[in-house]
Structure formats: structure tokens, C-alpha cells
Amino acid sequence: MYPTPLVSIIIPVYNVEKWIEKSLNSALNQTYPNIEYIIVDDCGSDKSMDVVQSMVKSNPQKLIRIIRHDKNKGLSEARNSGFSASKGTYVFFMDSDDEISEDCIELHLSALQKSDADFSDGNVRMVGVGHSNFHVYDSEHRFLNGDILIEYFNSFHVCGWNKLIKRRFLLNNNISFRPGMLYEDMLWSYQVCKNANKYVTIPSETYYYLIRQGSITTQNNNSSHAVKQFKSFIELLQCMRDEFQMPSNKELIRLQSKWFNKILLIIKTRLLDAPLSRNEKKVFFRELMAFSDFTVGPIKYVHKLPFDTFAILFTIPNKIFRKIR
């Protein structure tokens, strides 16, 4: 029988009044007994925290702590605040509009203890509207050292949630979520994979991911949000460029260049549809041109194209793709 170490489930809360009860109930009703729940109040404008307070009173036997921000700081800082307050041997991040299976923590911890991995990752069930794909793990598999980074570029779930992680591993490698950045999970996940010696996959669906209108990933872009979005994209590219050290592994070199090929193309085509003036788009496009040297193959020449030429070639295909996806 394995000992029962403390697990910290960290749940940032911001304007999720409609979903927080189901989300928190799924966390509170785990088959694994030794859990502390860290709820981070990120100063929303609805009654989410009233729901949380009511649930806390209804579950006096549970170890629940509420961390309050003095103002809204965003998802990254909310997760970091929760992590700083955590005391568990392991930590698990979840979003407050998602749910987890009742045996989620038990399955993750069992896999970690058997493999002595730095972290685990499970399958995801999609719920709600929108379009997103996650690779399906069909077995409990262990990835070691350099293979972990190769997996990051191939089939890894690039998200902060649904991973049980050794708290000491994150502390020793100084891994946290970058404040103020959208799409921060991509950088955080890379840093986790870059520093891990071993991780294990779980073939069960342990996380139920809700895609909803109004969430960070689906909200309609207004001009101010679009500016923040593309500034975050550029910050992400700069961080990833700095993270990508020239490895001796030729496969990693190829995958890093392929990553830049893909991400740059996604960002540039999104820029075509953004609610920004033509001049604003050109400014962002010029900043994106700085990363074209990190691409390879025929698409490298596509990334060298000026804005007007790129727009002529890709506007219509991009609109068709968005209609059929």
C-alpha cells in the first residue's frame, strides 16, 4: 500500500458563476482522500465567490483555503498565487469551468508513484462548443529525458491543467506561469518538458474540458483584446526562441523549426481577420517577420513575404478554412 501524500488542487476563479458549482463538486468528490483545495479569488464581477463560500460551508470536512487577490491579475498570476500557497507533495491545476473524473487524482498519483515520474498527463474529454483536438493516450507510457521534448512537439497536451506534478520539481526548476501573457500554457508546458527526466501518460479520461463562448480562447476579439492578443503572441515567440537552445539532436532541430513554421502561419492568418486597422496589422506583421529566420523549408519563403503579398495569397483560403473547420 502506497502512503497517501498531500495533493494540492489549485483552482483560479474569475467570472464563472454558471459553472463553478459543478467544477468544484467534481474536485471535492474525489476517491483520493488527502487533498487540499486552494481557491484563488481573482476579483471577478459576478457571484462566483458567493457560490464558492456556500460550498465551503457545506463541506466543513474538506481542507479548503481561499486566496484573495486585491485586484484582477489574470490566470497566470492566479495559478502562481495558488502554487505559492500550496503545501502538497504534488500539485494539480484545474480551471473553474471544467470538471475532473471522480478518480482523477487517484489515477494520476498511482501512475506517478509506480513510475517515479516528475509529472503525469491524462486524456481529455471535450465538452461544449468550438473546435479543439487532443491526442488520445491509448496506454500508460513513460517518456524519458530527450524523448519528452520530442513528444512536446508531436502529441503532448500543451495545457497547464490535467497534470499531476511534483511540487518540488517545479520549485527546483523555477517553473511558473508568465504573468500577463495569453497562451501562457505553451511556454509553461515547454519549460516543464525541457526540465523533466520522466513523465507518464494515463489512458483514462480524467479531465472534462469545457469550450464555451466568452472564455479566453473563444471570446470575440475587439480591438483592445486583439492588440493584447498579438502582443502576447510576439512575447511567446520571443520566449520560445530564447528557450530553444541548439540541441545536438537533429530531430529536435527539425521539430523546433517546424514549430516556428506552424505557429507563425497561424498567427499571421489570424492577423488578417483581426479587428485592427491595416496600419496596425502591418506593424504586428513587421514584428513577426523577425522570426522568419527560425523557419526552414519552402515555407521559409512564405514567411519572408511582405504583408500586402501575404494578404493577397492567404485571405481567401483562410476564410474558406474557417468556414469548414
Model pLDDT for residues 23-42, shown as the tens digit of each residue: 999 999 999 999 999 999 99
Model confidence at 181: pLDDT above 80: yes
The per-residue pLDDT for 319 is 60
Residue with grid cell 479543439, as numbered in its chain = 132
Give the pairing of strands 198-211 and 99-100.
Answer: antiparallel
Q: What is the DSSP letter of 31?
A: S
Model confidence at 136: pLDDT above 50: yes
The amino acid present at 292, given as its one-letter code, is S
User: Is 164:108 a contact under the CB 8 Å cutoff?
Assistant: yes
- Domain 7-211, classified CATH 3.40.50.1110, yes or no: no
- What does pLDDT average to over the chain? 91
The per-residue pLDDT for 245 is 75
Model confidence at 223: pLDDT above 70: yes
**CA 290 to CA 151: how far, in whole Å?**
27
Percentage of the chain surpassing pLDDT 90?
78
* 142 beta partners: 200
The per-residue pLDDT for 146 is 84
Interval 95-110: pLDDT, tens: 999 999 999 999 999 9
The model's pTM is 0.92
**CA 90 to CA 118: how far, in whole Å?**
10
The per-residue pLDDT for 298 is 85
* Overall size of the chain counted in residues: 325
**CA 180 to CA 4: how far, in whole Å?**
36
Using DSSP's 3-state secondary structure scheme, residue 141 falls into coil
User: Is 81:40 a contact under the CB 8 Å cutoff?
Assistant: yes
**CA 2 to CA 297: how far, in whole Å?**
51
